[in-house]
Amino acid sequence: MAGTDSHYSDDTAQNGTAYEYQLVASPADPSLDSEISGPARSSVNFFDWSKFNVLVVAGIFFVLLFWYIRKSESGVRWIFRKIPGLAAIEEAVGRATEMGKGVLYVPGVQEIDDIQTIASMILLGRVARIAAKYETALNVPTNSPGVYTVAEEVVKSAYADVGRADAYKSDQVRYVTSEQFAYVAAVNGMMLRERPAANLLLGAFFAESLLLAETGHAVGAIQIAGTANVHQMPFFVVACDYTLIGEEYFAASALLSNDARLLGSLKATDSVKILMIAVIVLGSILATFGQTWLGDFFATQ
């Protein structure tokens, strides 16, 4: 152990076996050695108390979630601020229909287990319904086979739901490659050749964000982007017509659906955020006066 360490965790300890510990100086100096501790036995825990603070926040969120969903189902209507990018999604598809061109939907570059990709699939379902209704070509290049299988199912079902199963073409959704920059090169090539009227860049993006957005701008497409990756937001804001920033992206599916329960969950998220702001302000004031218990409670390991 380093001299600055204040605790030691013995990950090799067997449950039920008694262990004794002693601190021994290095280099050896018997006068600095500690006494031998009394026997200690580890045992299985059913709850990791170091995560209690997370459980508290999650519990508060669940309570608020169910409460707001019940309120929504009983007919309460919440007011949410308008997010320009959301209204623009349907306009963008409509514009593509008028121009006789297609819509390119890029679901990001992460695997299907990433929550941003899941949110992208949810939005893809809604966009696919609109595209099917307007008979607009919709192309979805994916960079992960997992995303491809889900996206194909989502688009196919969306077309079937609006009674246009016959209009679905099997190469609308395609797997391109898992390599990030090869994927960008392929998608840029699609933009330059097919010249879609609308680009929807919704998902997790990394360095390729500006490459996609600038190429889309060069072909004259209206572009709507949404991501929770903070480091890519500046590029989207600069190069796209509309950008859904952070939680706006996650709220998009709920707002587009107009479903009471989904809107209730959005309200719960807003409420938790207000609580967090209050805790941050209170914690900052307390810490200024030397009281760190609130901040310490929310510290994670």
Partner 1 sequence: MNLTSLQRLDRRWIFLAVGLLVIVPLLFNFHIAPVQPSNRSRGFYDAIEKMPEGSVVLLSGDYDPGTAAENYPMHLAAARQLMRRNMKIIALALYPAGPPLTDQVLRIAGGEYHKQEGVDYVNLGYKVGNELVMSQMGQSIPNTFPVDNRGVSVKLIPVMKGIQNFQQIRLIVNVSAGYPGTKEWVQQVVSRYHVPMVAGVTAVSAPEYYPYLQAGQLHGLLGGMAGAAEYEVLVGAPALATRGMDAQSLAHVFIAFMIVLGNLAFAGSKKGNGR
Partner 2 sequence: MKREIPILITLVAGMFMLIAWFVPHPMVRGAYEGLQNWAIVVVGFTYVLGVANLLRINLRQVSRKERDWPFKIVLLAGLLVTMAIGFSEGNHYTDVDSRFQWIYRTFYSPMTATMFSLLAFFIASAAFRAFRIRSVEALLLAIAAFILMLGRVPLGAAIHPAIPAAADWLMEIPQNAAKRGILIGAALGVMATGIRVILGLEKTYGGGDS
Rounded CA-CA distance 134/127 in Å is: 11
Site for partner 1 (CB under 8 A): which residue of 61, 67, 134, 206? 206
**Binding-site partner at residue 19 among partner 1, partner 2, none, CB < 5 to 8 Å by type:** none
Rounded CA-CA distance 76/92 in Å is: 31
Q: Is 298 in the site for partner 1 (CB under 8 A)?
A: no
Rounded CA-CA distance 217/239 in Å is: 7
Phi, psi of 297 (to 5 degrees): -60, -40
The 10 Å CB-count burial string (b at 16+, else e) for 234-260 is ebbeebbbbbbbeebbbbbbbbbeeeb
List the end-to-end C-alpha distance of the chain, in Å, as a whole number.
Answer: 19
**Binding-site partner at residue 91 among partner 1, partner 2, none, CB < 5 to 8 Å by type:** none
Answer yes or no: are the C-beta atoms of 300 and 53 closer than 8 Å.
yes
Site for partner 1 in 164-193 (CB under 8 A): 179-181
Rounded CA-CA distance 141/172 in Å is: 8
**Residue 173 CA to its chain's centroid (Å):** 22
**Binding-site partner at residue 126 among partner 1, partner 2, none, CB < 5 to 8 Å by type:** partner 2
CB of 81 to partner 2, least distance (A): 13
**Binding-site partner at residue 202 among partner 1, partner 2, none, CB < 5 to 8 Å by type:** none
- Which of 131, 177, 136 is CA-nearest to residue 154? 131
Q: Which is nearer to partner 1, 179 or 247 (CB)?
A: 179
Q: Which is nearer to partner 2, 92 or 112 (CB)?
A: 112
Neighbours of 67 (CB within 10 A): 14
Rounded CA-CA distance 20/14 in Å is: 13
CB of 57 to partner 2, least distance (A): 9
Q: Which is nearer to partner 2, 136 or 215 (CB)?
A: 215
**Binding-site partner at residue 68 among partner 1, partner 2, none, CB < 5 to 8 Å by type:** none
Half-sphere exposure for 65 (CA within 13 Å, toward CB): 9
One character per residue 207-226, x = contact with partner 1 (rule: CB under 8 A): x----------x--------
Site for partner 2 in 86-145 (CB under 8 A): 111-113, 115-116, 118-119, 121-122, 124-126, 144-145
Q: Which is nearer to partner 1, 87 or 238 (CB)?
A: 238
Site for partner 2 in 185-204 (CB under 8 A): 185, 193
Q: Which range of residues in 6-14, 31-39, 52-60, 285-293 is near partner 2 by CB under 8 A?
A: 52-60
CB of 195 to partner 2, least distance (A): 13
- DSSP-H helix ranges across the chain: 52-73, 84-99, 115-134, 145-161, 180-194, 209-218, 233-239, 247-257, 260-288, 293-298
Rounded CA-CA distance 250/265 in Å is: 11
Size of the site for partner 2 (CB under 8 A): 81
Report the interface residues with partner 1, using CB under 8 A.
5, 9, 11, 110, 179-181, 206-207, 218, 230-232, 300-301
